[in-house]
A and B are shown apart, each in its own frame.
Chain A
C-alpha cells in the first residue's frame, strides 16, 4: 500500500495560510489550458481576435482552466485524500501571457458535519502584481483520522 502524505483535519486551524503558488504565465499556458478544457473560443488562442475584437491586451486564461489551477493548488496542500466539495469563484480581471499569477489561500473555517465528515473552508485569491483577478471560496473534505477517507463517502454521507 502506498504511503500517502495527507493532511488531516486536526492539523488545520482557522487562519492557517497555504503556501503561495507562483506561476509565470505564457501563451502556451493559456492555449494549453483552453484546449484541455475543450474551449475553442478564439479569445483564448488568437492574439489578433483577442486584441482587435475583444479589446483585451492579449489572449487570456479561460474560466475552466482557472478552476483547474484552484483545484491543483488546494490538493497540493491537502494531499490526495482531500476531496473538493464546493467551489465558488468570481472573476474581476483577466490573466494574460507575461503575467506572474500568484495563488494564495487562507483557512476560514474548520468543521465537522452531521455525518462526521471533516471540512475546511479556504479562501483563495489569484493575483497579478497584487491585483485580485479571481477570488475563490472552496470547501474541501479532509480525513478526520489516518483511517478516514472522504472519497469513501457516498449518498447521504456526502453533503457538499
Chain B
C-alpha cells in the first residue's frame, strides 16, 4: 500500500465517515500484475466482437506508420486484469474491483450498482506488455437516499501502468452501495 501524504482537512472534519475509511481515501490498494502478457489473439478477438476493421490492429504497416507498431484497442484496458475463470490451486473467486466489495462490507450495504464509468487513455498498450494495476478510493459520499434505497456513493480509480511504469490508463467507477427500503 502507498500511504497518502496527509488527510485533507475537509475530509478530517467529516463526521459521517469512520476514521478507517478516511485513511483509505487516496491510498493505493491491491497492487497486482496481470496474469499474462498482452497478446494479439485477444486483440483480434475483441476487434472481431465489434467488427472493428481499424487497420491499426490488422495491418502491421499502418500500425508501424501511425503508432510505432501494433497496439491493443484502448478500450481493452480492463481485459488484461480479469482473472482466469479457473486456475490451479485457486480456492476462491478472484474479484476484479475489490475496493468496491470492501466498501459494501464495511458499510453493510448488500446491494450495489455502478452508475458511471470514465476511462482516460494514456500510453498505448502493446502486445508483450506486462501491465500492473492498483485501486485508489477517491471519495465516499455521506449517506444518501435514492429510489433504490439508502446508501452511499463512492468513486474508485483503477490505475494501469506498463512494465516501464508508464501510465497507460485510468478507469474511474462511481458506485452506489445501498440497502433496499424493505431490507
Contact = CB atoms under 8 A, between A and B. Distances in A.
B117 A81 contact: no
Contacts of A67: 75, 117, 119
B51 interface: yes
Interface string B94-123: 000000000000000000001111111111
A32 B47 CA distance: 11
A145 to B, nearest CB: 15
Nearest to B35: A38
A88 interface: yes
B121 A84 contact: yes
Contacts of B147: none
Contact of A85 (B42, B45, B49, B121): B121
Contact of A151 (B46, B49, B67, B122): B67
Nearest to A34: B49
Interface stretch (A47-55, A70-78, A110-118, A119-127): A70-78
B62 A4 contact: yes
Nearest to B93: A40
A39 B95 CA distance: 11
Contacts of A83: 121
B27 interface: no
Interface of A: 1-2, 4, 29, 32-33, 35-40, 63-65, 67-72, 75-76, 80-81, 83-91, 149, 151, 154, 158, 160
Given A68-B73, A90-B117, 6 more contacts: A2-B59, A36-B45, A37-B76, A64-B79, A68-B75, A70-B75
